[in-house]
Structure 1
Amino acid sequence: MSENSNPIAAATDSGPAITVVQHQESVPLGLLTDALAGARLHIVRPDAGEPLPGAEGLEALIVLGGSMAAHDEQDHPWLAAERDLLSAAVQHGVPTLAVCLGAQQLAMARGGQVEKSAPTGPEQGVIEVRMRPDAVTDPVLGPVVAALGRDIPAPSMHADAVTALPAEATWLASSQQYPFQAFRVGSAVGVQFHPEAGEDVIRRWAENRGLDVEEVTAGYRPNAEALTTLVTELGAAFLAQIADRSRLAVR
């Protein structure tokens, strides 16, 4: 898919170029689209047969979530190539945001472990994420901590989980149910939660899974302001990380 054929990319003609790997129609960039206003967003769909780019020429990379498992290469053979892309992005210093499945892929790409249908069960709806001390100085999560404190509400929808971080990773956040809610590997940050998922998206996911929709979405209205702040601050901080890299490159 060319950048000009992408309706999101066509809407902006300035700002950094961010390649967004989307794994299925039902798991879009969502609220991050507005949070990344001004960027040129190029959506790549490996599930539709579109080739993944090389990391060398990327200005920035986002890898979204999906209902497939990171280990499910038989049905989704592009998963292995995506891990190669994530690892290469780290090696080349490409600012990268990896969400849910993307975070699991990042962990595996750099030597961590992911367990399918983890024994503590699925984590669904708005959960509390506790930021660890290293998150305070993280270029992407630091502004979130500054705005919301160390305990933040965040949307979640997953059953698979990172069970061991890569040896080089910095552990950034946990939840009561799962320890590895966020981590950094070089230029890449992985988040198990879904900052991009508004109530409408979580509602559709719950419906598709046959869950109690009202129960899953109950945490949205009480935390509406904080959830908006989460995605706004995270998006702005990610753009700032991209800009910092660009400034260093021209020195």
Structure 2
Amino acid sequence: MRMTVIEHEAGAGLGYLADWLGLPCDVVRPYLGEPVPERAADGLIVLGGEAAAWEDDDHPWLPATRDLLRASVEQGVPTLGICLGAQLLTLACGGTVERGAAGLEVGACAVTALPAAEHDVLFHGIGTAVAIQYHRDAMTRLPEGAVPLLTGTQYPNQGYRLGDSAWAVQFHPEATPAIFASWTAASGVQGLDEAVAAAEPGLIAAWRPVAERFAALVKTRATVG
């Protein structure tokens, strides 16, 4: 059993997920010239990055990534899109992603479960949890049939499920405080690193179970298949 992971830049890797998933991960780095596969392995994770989901000219692997996401949804491959990955999933499946009208959402922010989350395979029991945010773009219209699961104050579409095996989250469940600090150091955003570091116990408590449930789903689907 293996996980296909699309990484868009060196500073936005698997983070916590490398340990939490407990599965071998084939990390594809298209920014280094590695080709995006046409088909995922037993599961698919598409990570975040600075690119906008529509910036194909500057990031020429994005169309192939959207194709991979669309195919994975259609084939029932367990799929998780994170931040840019969530936005690419949204575009790939007919939704809309735009520059966010509310500006940059960054730091340790609260996300709140919607009623449908209580019956979701991954997100049941979340309630209100802290999450690391770093994005300017927003999923403004979800794909047809998407089930909203998580919301927030600055941007309402924080997480959804599409079908029974694909999920998108606008925030960064994979990001450690050290990863977040590297992002702020590169961008010049100040004053948030300490709060994110203090939030680490809450980050782990909320998102480690989600990652473990996703890995369990991958194992179950692969065994049944």
**Is 2:110 the counterpart of 1:99?**
no
Select 2:42's aligned residue among 46, 59, 67.
59
Q: After the TM superposition, which segments of 4 or more aligned residues of structure 1 sit over 3 Å from their partners?
A: none
Instruction: State how far apart, in whole Å, the 2-side matches of 1:204 and 1:221 are.
Output: 12
Give, in angstroms, the shift of residue 224 of structure 1: 2.5
Deviation, 1:232, is 1.4
CA contact (8 A) 2:38 2:67 kept: no
Is 1:190 the counterpart of 2:186? The answer is no
- What is the CA deviation profile of residues 105-127 of structure 1, one whole-angstrom value per residue up to 9, with x for unaligned ones? 000000000002x1101100100
Cα RMSD (Å): 1.2
- SS for the counterpart of 1:62 is strand
Q: Secondary structure at 2:195's aligned position in 1?
A: coil
Encode CA deviations 1:182-236: one digit per residue, 9 max, x unaligned. Answer: 0111211010000111111111101111111xx2223334432221122311211
1:131 to 113, 129, 154: 113
Structure 1 gaps, min length 5: 1-15
Secondary structure of the equivalent of 1:218? Answer: helix
Alignment gaps of 5+ in structure 2: none
Instruction: Say whether the 8 Å CA contact 1:46–1:78 is kept in structure 2.
Output: yes
Separation (CA, whole Å) in 2 of partners of 1:75 and 1:246: 35
Distance 2:179 2:96 in 1: 28
Whether contact under 8 Å (1:125, 1:218) holds in the other structure is no
Q: CA deviation at 1:95?
A: 0.3
User: Contact conserved, 2:53 with 2:88, CA < 8 A, in 1?
Assistant: yes
State how far apart, in whole Å, the 2-side matches of 1:241 and 1:179 are.
27
Match among 14, 22, 32 for residue 48 of structure 1: 32
What does the per-residue CA deviation read over 1:138-186, in whole Å, with 9 as the maximum and x for residues that have no partner?
A: 11222xx2xxx41000011000111110012111111100011001112
Equivalent residue letter for 1:102: G
Q: Counterpart of 2:139?
A: 162
Question: Highest Rg: 1 or 2?
Answer: 1
Amino acid at match of 2:19: D
Contact in 2 for aligned 1:154/1:195 (Cα 8 Å): yes
Please tell me whether residue 227 in structure 1 is matched to residue 203 in structure 2.
Answer: yes
Is this contact kept in 2: 1:183–1:189, CA < 8 A?
yes
Once the two structures are TM-superposed, the CA of residue 136 in structure 1 deviates from its matched residue by 1.4
2: CA distance, partners of 1:221 / 1:47: 29
Question: Which residue identity lines up with residue 25 of structure 1 in the other structure?
Answer: A
8 Å CA contact 2:5–2:47 kept in 1: the answer is yes
Matched, 1:21 2:21: no
Q: Answer whether contact 2:114 2:149 (CA < 8 A) is retained.
A: yes
| Contact 1:175–1:181 (CA under 8 A) maintained in structure 2 | yes
Q: Which residue of 2 aligns with 1:239?
A: 215
SS of match in other structure, 2:179 = helix
